[in-house]
């Protein structure tokens, strides 16, 4: 949408990432905090819960970093290559 409104590529990518920063971080943080009790549990069934919670928290952190850092960079790279060809 930002590119369609005439924004430069770099500015559009930066603003888009900035706009999405808060919602993405809040969603991932709430989900991660929700799994913390499961990750630190020591009671019955903890041997199954702890690894599961650890994997889910790790996945949330990884996907958040990919969404906020790698995806905008990849979009910028692909768009730049497309402009050079076209």
pLDDT 10s per residue in the chain (86 long)? 787 888 898 899 999 999 999 999 999 999 999 999 999 999 998 999 999 999 999 999 999 999 999 999 999 999 888 878 76
Rounded to an integer, what distance in angstroms lies between the CA atom of residue 83 and that of residue 20? 25
% helix, strand, coil for the chain, step of 5: 85, 0, 15
pTM, whole model, 2 decimals?
Answer: 0.79
């Amino acid at each position: 949408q930002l590119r369609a409104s005439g924004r430069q590529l770099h500015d559009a990518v930066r603003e888009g990432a900035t706009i999405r920063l808060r919602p993405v971080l809040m969603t991932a943080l709430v989900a991660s905090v929700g799994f913390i009790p499961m990750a630190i549990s020591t009671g019955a069934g903890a041997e199954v819960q702890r690894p599961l919670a650890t994997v889910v928290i790790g996945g949330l952190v990884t996907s958040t970093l990919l969404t906020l850092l790698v995806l905008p960079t990849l979009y910028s790279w692909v768009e730049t290559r497309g402009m050079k060809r076209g």
